Amino acid sequence: MRNMLFILVAILCAMNIQAQKVFSVRYASQADIKVFVEKYESMADLAVYKVDYENRAVINNGQWFFVDYESEADKKIFFVDYASQADVTIFFTKYINRAGWKKKEKIHLFY
């Protein structure tokens, strides 16, 4: 019974360490990172899954929680109109297991 409880606690803790808190700003000059949303996952640097709860917002693996206030965010992002204007390109995925870096050369931008 104790082993089962330990395993359950370990799984719940692991689930809580899975995302980053982001805030979408109005102007490019306010952003830490400029992002462009691609139509196809294969063209993106990062596949992003939007999580529903803030407590899942901790590490840099493509799982994002959009916060209501700038001060709560790990990163401030600005959505640009063209890929050439972006620091990183993303694709919003419907499945949590698809989230993550596709091209890791830009991973440092989110640390």
**Which amino acid, 24?**
S
How much is the pLDDT for 90?
98
How much is the pLDDT for 105?
93
C-alpha distances (whole Å) from 96 to each of 69, 81, 108 are: 24, 26, 21
Question: Which residue from 16, 28, 23, 36 is spatially nearest to 84, judged by alpha carbons?
Answer: 36
Q: How far apart are CA 80 and CA 54, in angstroms?
A: 25
Q: Which helix (H) or strand (E) holds 103?
A: none
Q: Per-residue confidence of the chain (111 residues) as pLDDT tens digits?
A: 555 544 544 444 444 344 699 999 999 999 999 999 999 999 999 999 999 988 776 678 899 999 999 999 999 999 999 999 999 999 999 999 999 999 999 999 988
Query: In the chain, count of helices (H) and strands (E)?
Result: 1, 7
How much is the pLDDT for 14?
44
The residue with tokens 């949303």 is 37
Question: Which residue from 40, 36, 49, 35 is spatially nearest to 100, judged by alpha carbons?
Answer: 49
Triad 76, 92, 81: Cα angle to 5°: 60
The residue with tokens 């001060």 is 71
